[in-house]
A = this chain, B = another copy of it.
Amino acid sequence: MEKVRLGIVGIGNQGSGYVTKIQRGDVPEMEIAAICDISPERLEWAEKNHPDVARFDDAEKMMDSGLIDAVLVSVPHYDHPKYSIMGMKKGLHVICEKPAGVYTKQVKEMNEVAKECNVKFGMMFNQRTRNVYRKLREIVQSGVYGEIRRTNWIITTWYRTQEYYDSGSWRATWSGEGGGVLLNQCPHQLDLWQWICGMPSKVYTKMHFGKWHDIEVEDDVTTYVEYPNGATGTFITTTGDAYGSNRFEITLDRARIICEGTTIKVLEYTMPTSEHISKGKVFTNPPILGESTISCNNNGDQHMEVFKAFAAAILRDEPLTAAGTEGINGLTLSNCMHLSAWLGKDIIVDEFDDDLYYEELMKRVATSKRKENVKTVVVDTSGTY
């Protein structure tokens, strides 16, 4: 195999952008060999713009066609596990859009299948390719500054207008997306948060549903967490604040780290806080060793990097950007947040009851209302993720 032949399940906003880029050669070791969508309009779009790419209106037929080696799952969230599992069982390599699914119960099953099938399975966590987060992870995970004491991420740059929510009948519904800002916008940050700082052990969330928009799901979330070592953290997000902030603060034992945009500021001490707190004089801080500012390059098309790594993994067994089985981590946080908000209780992550979560979610799905008279818009999402 010289080039990976990719088939795409679902040619919506994201999918159509990928086709254009991959077909013009942005991912040298990959080509789009087939696409599949249930919408005649989307297939017409494909015929017109990419007549050389095979078209299917049924995912299984595409997977059985022999035309493809790998499949991208780019359908509504609920069906991510279904089509990922289908692909893996047919011996195809799979890359799945975020989130891994809507509830961890189904993602656990997907991960089980991934273990059994000898294929590559990756998640489209394109933000993991950003230099600023790679660097941040390296700093924290190296352990050079000791353990985490506190993490605060204010990530309110996900502003969305009502027109956005009205652009698809499934958008921001319990039955269509299974959640709001946590399921659609924040899977990246939830993944990065745990990728950089590790998984919290306890979650408590205050959540507002349709606070700023005419939607049934959450658009305003404040979460408090505790880590296994006792450190605490917050995660604040919304789609209701114009512009918003993206400020990620990580307090380590021997350094204070603040990440804003593509810049990381590190204030480093000569003595760990935990040592200074017991030895230091009244009203002193540990002596400062130095302060550094790391201005990271904002690398361009992150999705293409994920595809490049995916192709290299298939062709030469190189590492994936994000193993598919890691998709469950951010989703677990997301599910814990919803369950905490619904029940008004602390959720112990290790004891997270995915049956209860599913039950609570289905109560909401049962009364969920798809929007009527929506104007389906295929929007240009470049620069919005």
Contacts and interface: CB of A to CB of B under 8 A. Distances in A.
Given A236-B152, A277-B212, A379-B283, A224 B243 contact: no
A-side interface size class: 35 or more
Interface in A216-257: 220, 222, 224, 230, 232, 234, 236, 238, 240-245, 247, 249, 251, 256
Contacts of A381: 283
A18 interface: no
Nearest to A213: B277
Contacts of A238: 150
Interface stretch (A4-12, A30-38, A159-167, A172-180): A159-167
B167 A282 contact: yes
A135 to B, nearest CB: 20
A187 B242 CA distance: 31
Given A154-B249, A206-B224, A276-B161, A242 B283 contact: no
B247 A247 contact: yes
A232 B240 contact: no
A198 interface: no
A163 B280 CA distance: 7
B161 A240 contact: no
A295 to B, nearest CB: 19
B222 A234 contact: yes
Given A234-B236, A276-B161, A243 B256 contact: yes
Given A230-B211, A277-B212, A282 B242 contact: no
Number of copies: 2
B282 A159 contact: no
Interface in A136-177: 149-150, 152, 154, 156, 159-164, 167
A377 interface: yes
A184 interface: no
B282 A379 contact: yes
Contacts of A208: 232
A232 B238 CA distance: 11
A206 B232 CA distance: 10
A297 interface: no
Contacts of A256: 241-245
A20 to B, nearest CB: 18
Contacts of A285: 159, 242-243
A162 B281 CA distance: 8
Chain B CB within 10 Å, residue with most, of A211, A230, A242, A278 = A242
A220 B232 contact: yes
Interface string A267-299: 101000100111111111110000000000000
Contact of A243 (B242, B267, B278): B267
Nearest to A154: B152
Given A164-B282, A206-B204, A247-B247, A273 B242 contact: yes
Contacts of A222: 224, 232, 234
Given A161-B277, A204-B206, A212-B277, 8 more contacts: A154-B249, A161-B278, A208-B232, A220-B232, A234-B236, A241-B273, A242-B273, A283-B384
- In the A-B complex, the 10 residue pairs with the smallest Cβ-Cβ separation, listed nearest first, are A161-B280, A242-B273, A164-B282, A242-B285, A163-B282, A241-B251, A222-B224, A206-B224, A242-B286, A282-B379
